[in-house]
Amino acid sequence: MTQVKTKTKAIPTTKSKKSDKKNSRPLQQTQCLDQPTLRFSPTAWAKLLYLRDRGQTEVGGFGIAAGDDLLRVEDVQLVRQVCTTVSVVFDDEAVADFFDRQVDEGRRPQQFGRIWIHTHPGDCPQPSMTDEETFARVFGRADWAVMFIVARGSQTYARLQLNVGPGATLVVPVCVDFERPFEASQVQSWEQEYGANVTASSSTRSAEESNEPGFVEPDLIDPFEPGTGWTDDAWQAYLDQDLDPLCERLSYEI
């Protein structure tokens, strides 16, 4: 990766245990003003924690960003998926339908297709090799994208990838943003969304069962499975767009 001067350190391409610990961040309560920060509205954060803790599996979705602040997540939305304790597989038709609905509701693709969110049922938020390969393949042509992971213990991992100019990879802080008005919790609605979209794979085992002798974890699966139609068509619709103000601003800052 091209070395650039930034206000935060670029992530090494290979991670040691020491760097893993360093790059895992506890949730912050205030925004870091000297660097890009991924911020969640209190309602979006409460919903994400509800979805994380609802079952024993991973859960994946997309962050819905504010129109005037593309690193402020105002909602987390699921699509139909089959999950295990170590993997998520999105239904390709469901993702295409999700994209269509977002456009119909007047959102720009940068608001709903750049922040990839998923949970880890354990206490480690570090991305797996499958996470890394998926992020590079699916989001590598976008001008910018974020991979965000929250673990069961609320440890977080957020990485902003800039693919324009010299490019940069930044581990960014995460905080809950109380500065704007926000809606109250909507547990009943969140339960309906979870029930309509999340299916636990038949190979899923509980945390207790996974400790039993002879238990074999299922293979890691790429949620954006290659060869599905939407990965070729839906992503291309926004990858061809001009740079948005966020990316332009960050490019000049670094």
* pLDDT score of 167 more than 70: yes
Tell me the pLDDT tens digit for each residue of 211-253. 433 334 444 556 666 555 455 555 555 455 544 555 555 444 4
221 occurs within a structural domain: yes
Domain total in the chain? 1
Main-chain dihedrals φ then ψ at residue 250, nearest 5 degrees:
-65, -35
Q: Is 35 a domain residue?
A: yes
In a domain, 2, yes or no: no
Residue 240 lies in a domain: yes
User: Distance between CA atoms of 222 and 133, rounded to whole angstroms?
Assistant: 8
Measure the CA–CA gap between 35 and 6, rounded to whole angstroms: 9
161: CATH: 3.40.140.10
- Report which secondary-structure segment, H or E, holds 232: helix 229-239
Task: Kindly state whether residue 4 falls inside one of the protein's structural domains.
Answer: no
Question: Does some domain include residue 248?
Answer: yes
Kindly state the tokens that stand for 217.
Answer: 């974890």
Question: Whole-model pTM?
Answer: 0.72
For the segment 120-132, the average pLDDT, to the nearest whole number, is 92
Domain that holds residue 221: 17-205+214-253
Would you say residue 99 lies in a domain?
yes
pLDDT digits (tens, 9 = 90+) for 95-121: 999 999 999 999 998 999 999 999 999
